[in-house]
Amino acid sequence: MKKLSREFYDRDTTVVAQELLGKLLVRQAGGVERIGRIVEVEAYLGEHDLAAHSSKGLTARTKTMFGPPGHAYVYFIYGMYFCMNVVTEGEGHASAVLLRALEPVKNVAGRTQGPGLLCRALDIDRRLNGHDLLSDDFHLADPETAGRITIVKRPRIGVDYAKHWARRRLRFYLKGNPFVSRP
DNA sequence: TGCACGATGAAC
DNA sequence: TTCATCGTGCAC
């Protein structure tokens, strides 16, 4: 189980998003190591992408997205949930990949089908915004047990306000996986 | 300084 | 389809 490198994240966001499928999210908190396999993601392609928070420009909230790759962008939404992203590409590109669903692997209690639920299950909240994903307590890893997978491409969820960007198929998930939030 | 609304999830 | 619940961005 090898930790993903900085270089992995510093590439085209649609490529990183698809390659994240099947990877492991590792979170250590309170002496417990929790692990989930990524089965659904969405790519957010920078300042031009009207669905991306970074389309508002550099603000206190979007600061992490504008930062270096390989860091977590965690935000609070609808007054009750947190969502976790992985920052991609070079500093200033303001792109990221939203983790939408996990398949439980180790010490995962509660459901993980959806961005808000997976954060709750893995104890991910605002404290982890900007956290380096090459750290020991919070990172992604390669399971190195690669099997054949088929990737399904669909429009992103909940971004109908984003004009033509709403139509683009930037949501990726593992075909047939029962933990995908909205197959 | 106020206010509309959101990269959600659950209930009805 | 409605609602819980609050931070963010933008209008005033």
A121 in any annotated domain: yes
pLDDT at A34: 98
pLDDT at A144: 81
The pTM assigned to this predicted structure is: 0.98
Q: Which residues contact A104 (CB under 8 A, 6 or more apart)?
A: A36, A112, A121, A179
Does residue A31 carry a pLDDT above 80? yes
A20 in any annotated domain: yes
Q: Which nucleotide is nearest to A58 (CA to C1')?
A: C9
A182 in any annotated domain: no
Reading the block at residue A164, the tokens are 């033509």
A183 in any annotated domain: no
SS (H, E, C) A44-89: ECCCCCCCCHHHHCCCCCCHHHHCCCCEEEEEEECCCEEEEEEEEC
Closest protein residue to B6 using CA and C1' atoms? A78
Dump pLDDT digits (tens) for A90-116: 999 999 999 999 999 999 999 999 999
Task: Give distance CA A89 / C1' B9 (Å).
Answer: 31
Q: Could you tell me the CATH number of the domain that includes residue A11?
A: 3.10.300.10
Task: Give distance CA A77 / C1' C8 (Å).
Answer: 10
Q: Which nucleotide is nearest to A110 (CA to C1')?
A: B9
Q: Which domain holds residue A26?
A: 2-174
Phi, psi angles (nearest 5°) of residue A144? 55, 30
Does residue A32 carry a pLDDT above 90? yes
Task: Give distance CA A159 / C1' B3 (Å).
Answer: 22
A143 in any annotated domain: yes
Q: Which nucleotide is nearest to A81 (CA to C1')?
A: B8
Domain count, chain A: 1
Rounded distance, CA A22 to CA A74, Å?
A: 21
Task: Tell me what the mean pLDDT of segment A61-87 comes to.
Answer: 98
pLDDT at A164: 97
A46 in any annotated domain: yes
Task: Give distance CA A89 / C1' C8 (Å).
Answer: 25
